[in-house]
Amino acid sequence: MLFVTRLFQCVLVAAVLTGCSSIGHIGRFSTVVVDAGHGGVDRGARAYDGSLEKNYTLDTAKRLEKKLRARGYHVIMTRKGDYFVPLPTRASVSNKQWGAIFVSIHYNDSSRRAARGVETYYYSSRSYPLAARIQQEIARLSVNRGTKRARFHVLRNNTKPAALVELGFLSNPQELKRIKSSRYRDNLAEAVARGISRSAR
């Protein structure tokens, strides 16, 4: 009995340590729709120094685009510049594509200055492995706020596996300082790309 209990404990500890045994995969895909959050009149969050979320999301999305192309994926951007794209248009891009997934890039905002860290959202249960694998990678760079379910328009109206990442708080002075560094944004994009490719099988 003691042996069985020990064995069970070991299996449990191994599962916790590897952290991925229960995440699963989303299957094969060839196209990644990269969605830079906000744009144009929709500025997104505004940092205390006046810098805007829409610019950080576009920069990070472009970095992610390059990294995914280098990995052999076909990449479609929902926007390539500073202009407004309605939410239904964004979701429809991946819905029209065969073998596509959808990843939306955002930075966070809070009235609580101390709020910090990264989190990833999904809606459909089939999108969970995509969100969880991305979160696993980006959490190496910041505080892990977890993988969460939410009814965001671009997730709820997506027929393809879809995730939305919040890559840090523009409202937190320390985190903003990091986000303003292009090298850090490049590391974030690399982590998102790694999570995307690890979600496939």
- Contacting residues toward Zn ion, per CB under 5 A: 37, 44, 106
Q: Based on CB atoms, which residue is closest to Zn ion, 167 or 193? A: 167
- Strands 118-122 and 31-36 turn out to be unpaired
Find the DSSP H helices in 53-142. 53-70, 87-95, 128-138
* Shortest reach from residue 55's CB to Zn ion, in Å: 12
Instruction: Please report, as a single letter, which amino acid is at residue 17.
Output: L
Torsion of Cα atoms, 91 then 62 then 168 then 24, to 10°: 60
Residue 15 structure tokens = 């599962």
* Shortest reach from residue 22's CB to Zn ion, in Å: 29
Q: Based on CB atoms, which residue is closest to Zn ion, 44 or 168? A: 44
* Shortest reach from residue 53's CB to Zn ion, in Å: 5
Closest residue to Zn ion, Cβ-based?
106
* Shortest reach from residue 104's CB to Zn ion, in Å: 8
Going across the sheet that includes 74-77, the strands are: 74-77, 31-36, 100-108, 162-169, 118-122, 144-149
Q: Based on CB atoms, which residue is closest to Zn ion, 37 or 129? A: 37
Q: Based on CB atoms, which residue is closest to Zn ion, 44 or 161? A: 44
